[in-house]
Structure 1
Amino acid sequence: MTTSEPKSAHAGMSLWALIVGLSFPAVGLLSEGLPPLFLTAIRFAIAAIAIGVLVWRAPDRRPGLPGLALYAVMGLCLAGFFGAMFWAAHQVSALSMATLYVSVPLLAYALGRILGVERPDVALLVTLAVGAAGALALAWVGSDGVGDSFEFGLAEGLFFLGCVASALYPVLSKWGLQRGWLSNSAALRTFWSLVAGGVLIGFLGLALEPIPALTRMTVFDFLLVAYLGVFSSGVTFWLIQRGTGVLTPGTVTAYTYLVPFVSMLILFVTEPDTIGWEWLPGSLAVILAIVLLLRRSASGRSGAPATDSRPTTG
């Protein structure tokens, strides 16, 4: 692994946070009443087609049986997270969801330790804790600190299981890479993950959502879903897989802390009057966590074996 690979992976994950943060306003432009699971399945299908154009001539494009089984489990992780998120969205407060979601990097580190893809690393744990505190502070300010409280019931428990599934996705990717079950190409891993996840989420949609609701989709909705599919699903999943090939799962998922920071910057541009000094502590904590991650990478402590994460174009 060259010294430029970790830097490139960190830059890619910063781009990932930017794309994800910009996707939330785009999702808000969709027509009301559209079935979210079906929309996610369509997004995944469009993303898989876009990635498939790059990998269809790759010599190792078909995974072996162990790899296919692992992709199925990874797809189940994606379906579990999106299914839990959409089900809990109408029953769990935004603050509770944000609070539970910041556990993902810490969960990824813990699961990585269990599966042997993370090393004992107190410094990384401290960095993740700093980032989590900053993200929580931004979430609290974003909820205005009033009228929205953290609770933990059945719905919150289900969403937390979805967070566990989300944390397990990069851990399984790393675990499969170390065993040679998954392709060294980040593009191929992205393609098969999208296929497996899209199929399972589509089945969830068939079980939980009315198909006729899709008839409400306009041409603008479809174009917006296509944009989200290519960038918010295809590119971001590729960046995750690319980062996982070089960094540890805990480090990769730590960039979720940047998403509320990006949302704050968007709010600053669109509604500058709503931004005050109360946003500063959380922002500084998130920036500090990312700086610490970059310093770890510069000192060669990313803790990941070298793998080829370049997309295969044939």
Structure 2
Amino acid sequence: MRVTFAPPGARQAHLGMLLWAMLVGLSFPAVGLVSEALPPLLLTSLRFIIASLALWALARRAPDWWPSRRSLPLYSLMGLCLAGFFSTMFWAAHHTTALSMATLFVSVPLLAFVLGLAAGVERLAWRLPVILALGAVGALGLAWAESRNGSTGLRFGLGEAGFFLGCISSAMYPVLSKWGLSREWLSQSAAVRTFWSLAIGAVLIGLVGLALEPVANLGVMTPRDALLLVYLGLCSSALTFWLLQRATAALTPGAVTAYNYLVPFVSMLLLFIQHPERTGWVWLPGSALVLTAIALLLRNGRVST
């Protein structure tokens, strides 16, 4: 069987990101089933290692799979972005509320658009920012609907500031990928780009985990935890980051990250399936705005030059 590494068209990239949003949204219940006693940073490092091993067989088939002197620093920066986001996310979870984190995460697509403009991989036009703003309002509406189940409100303190830095790291990941592709510094294979960024990210997150978390806590891992970890590594890391890298070759960073708005919508659907009694009109405005933004994005998807 012949393996092709040609980048996808815009339509294929958008369809791939729809699948990405479904996979990411479905991964949250799986994460919730993992034993709480396990160290989260070390688990993330193991998850990325599993994902890297799954991609290695495909990545090594590419003629340019081994990083050059120019691409290795860029892959390292991409891995640092992944390490920065996941590390600050786990740290912020103990210093802020879930609502505050969900609200700040809405800024990622707009941050990616602005950073992409600065890097020269986005086009200055009104349509995409309007779509991103519409999706952001919808995602905020979903966060507000979820907040009605608790009494903790929005705030901004040290935890929120730390998580916002993590959001900047998350927004930088597709920008660096697009910037490296535009200069032909990175491999044309999405599997290669995903492999090296995840592998380097696994090392960086693992080093942070070794410094902050007791390794002995991994001893409480059950067979179910191990199966969940393999599932997360294969479906929620290897496949999702490959889809993201694949879409980055055809779309701009702002368009790629706009699919973050669909993740809370998928989580909301799962919530209604599990707890239909929590269905209410408060979810309707945010859902309608998110779906409208994604429909506009599919219709007016921008292919970067």
Aligned letter for 2:154? F
2: CA distance between counterparts of 1:5 and 1:272?
Answer: 39
For 1:196 and 1:146, how far apart are their aligned partners in 2? 38
Counterpart among 221, 246, 262 of residue 266 in structure 2: 262
1:223-257 Cα distance to aligned partner (Å, 9 max, x none): 11000000100000000000100000000000000
Q: Distance in 2 between matches of 1:143 and 1:214?
A: 33
* Residue equivalent to 1:64: 68
Equivalent in 263, 272, 275 of residue 271 of structure 1:
275
1:120 to 121, 124, 127: 124
Amino acid at match of 1:231: C
The superposition leaves residues 229-287 of structure 1 with CA deviations (integer Å, 9 ceiling, x where unpaired) of 00100000000000100000000000000000001111111111111111000000000
RMSD: 1.4
The residue number in structure 2 matching 1:311 is none
Superposed, 1:136-155 pairs within 5 Å as 136-144=140-148, 146-155=150-159
**Any unmatched runs of 5+ in structure 2?**
1-5
Confirm or deny: 8 A CA contact 2:62 2:189 kept in the other structure: no
After the TM superposition, which segments of 4 or more aligned residues of structure 1 sit over 6 Å from their partners?
none
Aligned counterpart in structure 2 of residue 11 of structure 1, from 7, 10, 15: 15
CA contact (8 A) 1:137 1:282 kept: yes
Instruction: Determine the C-alpha separation between the residues in 2 that align with 1:33 and 1:171.
Output: 35
In structure 1, how many angstroms separate the alpha carbons of the residues matched to 2:215 and 2:262? 35
Give 1:201's match in structure 2, choosing from 195, 201, 205.
205
* 1:130 corresponds to 2:134: yes
Q: Alpha carbons of 1:145 and 1:130: their partners in 2 closer, same or farther (altered >3 Å)? A: farther
Is the 2:48–2:201 contact (alpha carbons within 8 Å) kept by the matching residues of 1? yes
Q: In structure 2, the residue corresponding to 1:181 is in which secondary structure?
A: coil
- Residue from 214, 218, 222 that aligns with 2:222: 218
Q: Deviations over 1:18-57 (max 9, x none)?
A: 0000000001111121100000000000000000011223
Whether 2:107 is the aligned partner of 1:103: answer yes
In the alignment, which residue of structure 2 is the partner of 1:26? 30
TM-score (norm 2): 0.96
Letter of the 1:233 counterpart: S
Please tell me the residue identity of whatever aligns with 2:147. Answer: S
**Counterpart residue type for residue 274 of structure 1:** R
Partner of 2:178: 174
1:59, 1:292 → 2: CA distance? 37
**Whole-Å separation in 2 of the counterparts to 1:303 and 1:8:** 12
Structure-2 residue corresponding to 1:304: 304
2:253 corresponding residue in structure 1? 249
Per the TM alignment, residue 146 of structure 1 is displaced from its structure 2 partner at its CA by 4.7
Cross-structure match for 1:184: 188
What is the TM-score normalised by the length of structure 1?
A: 0.93
User: By how many angstroms is 1:58 displaced?
Assistant: 2.4
